[in-house]
Amino acid sequence: MNLPSEIAPSLAVLVSGGSDSAILLAEACAEPRAVHPIYIRTGLFWEETELVFLRRFLTAIASPALQSLKILDQPVADVYGPHWSMTGENVPDEESPDEAVFLPGRNVLLLAKALLWCHLQRIPTIAMAPLEANPFPDATPTFFRAFADVINQAVEGTVQIIRPFAHLSKREVLLRGRGMPLQHTFSCIRPSNGRHCGRCNKCAERQKAFIQASMPDPTDYANRGV
């Protein structure tokens, strides 16, 4: 993962069930440092299934470096209301643009408690896995620097955010994951009976990425849209 040499041998990784953060986590665990996976539970429609997959992935990559999963609760039902991400209704489908899956303040919600937890646990660095094509305003270098500065100012801390995949495409990240148990990753925003629906925006993105990487897609889709 080519982390800076001055980083102490303790690292947090912000994970979902998706392939990008899972690959980032597995790479981090190959290095001689304690790695703390953090999951932020906000109450979104797909989280119960996502956590099932994440726990399977953690079991599959178990290593001395990997620490216990830390789940931090940051509920958003009172803010998001009847948003599609809460209800599972009118979920953006495979024909929708990337902008359709924007979740307001997503990285604010993911990072607020995670940065504070790292500060209190004396973990100096948190890694996350946004890619080069991320179009959202809370995924820019300026945002990440400013947000870390605000939290650190509030607690007189020094936790830094790193984004090792910020220069990579989804195809390039998948290629780094060759040989990893990617069947235990989860990218769907409208799961069907514990499976990828195969027809939502994120399922379509996942299917296309495996095709572009010329890799077999190990995903069990309820329907296959691509």
* Cα–Cα distance measured from residue 79 to residue 142, given in angstroms and rounded to the nearest whole number: 25
CATH topology of domain 10-212: Rossmann fold (3.40.50)
Instruction: Give residue-wise pLDDT tens across range 143-152.
Output: 999 999 999 9
Q: What is the pTM of this model?
A: 0.92
Looking at residue 133, what is its pLDDT? 77
Instruction: Give residue-wise pLDDT tens across range 152-204.
Output: 999 999 999 999 999 999 999 999 999 999 999 999 999 999 999 999 999 99
Looking at residue 1, what is its pLDDT? 53
**Residue 210 to residues 51, 177, 183, Cα–Cα distance (Å):** 22, 11, 12
Looking at residue 136, what is its pLDDT? 85
For residues 45 and 86, the answer to whether their CB atoms sit within 8 Å is yes
Q: Which residue has the higher pLDDT, 40 or 8?
A: 40
